[in-house]
Amino acid sequence: MQPEMIKVKIDGIGTVEVLRGSKIIEAVTKLDKKAAVKAIAALLKSKRIGSEDRTVDMSCSLGEDTDIALLPADDKNQKSLDLLNHSTAHIMAAAIIRLYPDAKFAIGPAIKNGFYYDFDTSSEVSPDTLPAIEKEMRKIIASNQPFIRNVLSKEEAFNIFRGNPYKLELIREIGDPLVSTYTSGDFIDLCLGPHIPSTGKVRAFKLLSIAGAYWRGNEKNKMLVRIYGTSFFTAEELDKYLKKIELARESDHRKLGKELDLFSFHEEAPGFPFFHAKGMILRETILKYWREEHDREGYQEVQTPIILSNALWKTSGHWDNYKENMYFVKIDENDYAVKPMNCPGNILIYKSSQHSYRDLPLRLAELGLVHRHEKSGVLHGLFRVRNFTQDDAHIFCTEEQLFDEVSKVVDLVGRMYKVFGFEKYHMELSTRPAKSIGTKEMWDKAEGLLRDVLDSKNMGYVINEGDGAFYGPKIDFHIEDCLERTWQCATIQLDFAMPEKFDIEYMGEDNMRHRPAMIHRTVLGSLERFIGILIENYSGNLPPWLAPVQMVVLPISEKFHAYSEEIVEKLKGSGFRVLLDDRVESLGKKIRQSELQKIPYMIIAGEKEEKTKTITIRKKKGDDIKEVKLESFIKIAERVVANREASY
């Protein structure tokens, strides 16, 4: 009897017949030996419509006719990078167990731009120990040990990991009676896989930092050691990434916020930012532009209280769906909550008077200060705080007006982001979560309308299943900064449920009462977070219209103080934010100080300038402009600031 053969079709290479049970690597080698050496994994092409392709090891056995695509060792391929980083995490764990035999490992996934592994050890592990771990990792890589997958019963797995409480907990939670492990050399780990063929495929890696992390993210659990790293297929890509990290460190808004005297944090109020005078100038400059755009779009600015009755939050659904993130207080023996969101207060404003269809759409905007309880371990500068200002707005409208109103918000977001220098962004549509209010019909209608708006604009978007707000689906905008990092800022949420809960109405053209729809939306999101993003995007070198100090006048010596004061008065009279540095210091030292303060324009006044009634301008970026008439410079600077130009 002839052995049963199966056909394997390999994208870009061809089709080959092999024995049933053959490994993918054997099928590929039969057709193209070079391709077999280069491949790090394979994609099994799904035969079912709507199903995703499955990534598997090159050692995976095939039991039927199969179409596959090979995953290359390519730094531009995210699937390949994720696979490489996950495998490098295993190599790091193997190195750690050699150096710290008592180490007990928890989880070690690939993450964006790298990997981490959490482990428990009685030994002291610090940044100084990272080079020793890297050295051990290089030995494992040089040995070119294969990653071997094994499938075993849960009982066998319990025996293998009997000394590791973290792995035992994970095994107990697996629903299947069988589990998989991966072995490389003498190291074995509980893992679903897949992995690269062998440790030798790792070419360029770096361990980056050490942090503490609670097991399962629960502060009641033990604090584990977490080591972060990154891995690439080429040294060039690793070097490029490490330079980007260094630039990000230099651009860290927490560092620059302190150096530029914008804001601070204090142990007396953890997670609550203190804005200094220069920081307030930056805030108010952003909000001046924000108000201009919102006035143009027909929004009415309102303000609601920070503390509101618990009864309100029970009606809105926050009590059942959000109270773990809220702060509470008693007033006159009654229960109140500090608002985590502005929407219920805006609904009360709507309810305070009767409305007809002629009043709609009603666009209420609020720069509302909200408070949310964040765990201390996740607080991070302005990016993760416990109180922040939401540039909120709530649009009450008829169902017929919804499409146009959502469309206008999408346009507003794009227009404002461009002014701030964020031309690249993508959108994600998030659907009904497990905890939600409202009927299925409401959610289907809302999700369909948001899809229709995005489709009408031919704007690509990603679907995030189950990630909507508890009261409605949403469109989130993710901006990309100069370091190619993305930040979620603007959001548009469509809500039919809350108007129902609060029983709000309007009188229709038919003289009948109708229920309005409600759009919740932000453009900047959290003002504090947006300021942090701006600082990092520009590395503190804010464009002149945003810079707290736009110009500094630098007299060459005390002899030219009077002329410098004349210049300052004229600049202030034209509306610029300008300082006079009349310290008894060398010009070079004053220029360096102004550069460190990232002031856009440095105006130098000396003998030649005083005689010709001109100025010399030194810019942060570009060459000096010598002997320019002050009036000419004022006209140029007025245009740059008025047009909110990013360059100057």
Task: Specify whether 474 is catalytic.
Answer: yes
By residue count, the chain amounts to 648
Q: Which of 57, 195, 390, 391 is catalytic?
A: 390
Nearest alpha-carbon partner for 244 in 259, 230, 223, 227 = 230
How far apart are alpha carbons 437 and 481 in whole angstroms? 35
Classified as helix, coil or strand, 81 is helix
How far apart are alpha carbons 616 and 596 in whole angstroms? 19
How far apart are alpha carbons 613 and 593 in whole angstroms? 26
Q: Give kind and range of the element (H or E) at residue 639.
A: helix 630-642
How far apart are alpha carbons 30 and 135 in whole angstroms? 37
Q: Which of 201, 474, 521, 577 is catalytic?
A: 474
Task: Specify whether 561 is catalytic.
Answer: no
Task: Specify whether 318 is catalytic.
Answer: no
Q: Is the Cβ–Cβ distance between 25 and 58 less than 8 Å?
A: yes
Q: Which of 206, 253, 283, 372 is catalytic?
A: 372
How far apart are alpha carbons 144 and 345 in whole angstroms? 63
Q: Which of 75, 118, 391, 392 is catalytic?
A: 392
**Other beta carbons within 10 Å of 89:** 26
Task: Specify whether 520 is catalytic.
Answer: yes
Strands (E), 266-386: 274-275, 300-301, 307-309, 327-331, 334-338, 362-371
Q: Which of 201, 520, 521, 577 is catalytic?
A: 520
Q: Which residue has the tokens 């736009």?
A: 550
Query: If you write DSSP's letter for every residue of 189-229 in order, what string do you get?
Result: EE------SBGGG--EEEEEEEEEEEGGG-TTS-EEEEEEE
Classified as helix, coil or strand, 523 is strand
Q: Is the Cβ–Cβ distance between 629 and 609 less than 8 Å?
A: no
Q: Give kind and range of the element (H or E) at residue 464.
A: strand 461-464
User: If phi over 0 gives left and psi between -120 and 50 gives alpha, with beta otherwise, what is residue 641?
Assistant: alpha
Q: Give helix 402-419 / helix 277-296 axis angle, nearest 10°.
A: 140
Name, in order, each residue with C-beta under 8 angstroms of 578's C-beta and a sequence gap of 6 or more. Answer: 549, 550, 551, 552, 553, 568, 571, 572
Task: Specify whether 392 is catalytic.
Answer: yes
Q: Is the Cβ–Cβ distance between 400 and 549 less than 8 Å?
A: no
Q: Which of 60, 343, 397, 489 is catalytic?
A: 343
Strand partners, 426: 478
Q: Which of 149, 384, 394, 590 is catalytic?
A: 394
Residues acting as catalytic residues: 343, 372, 390, 392, 394, 474, 520
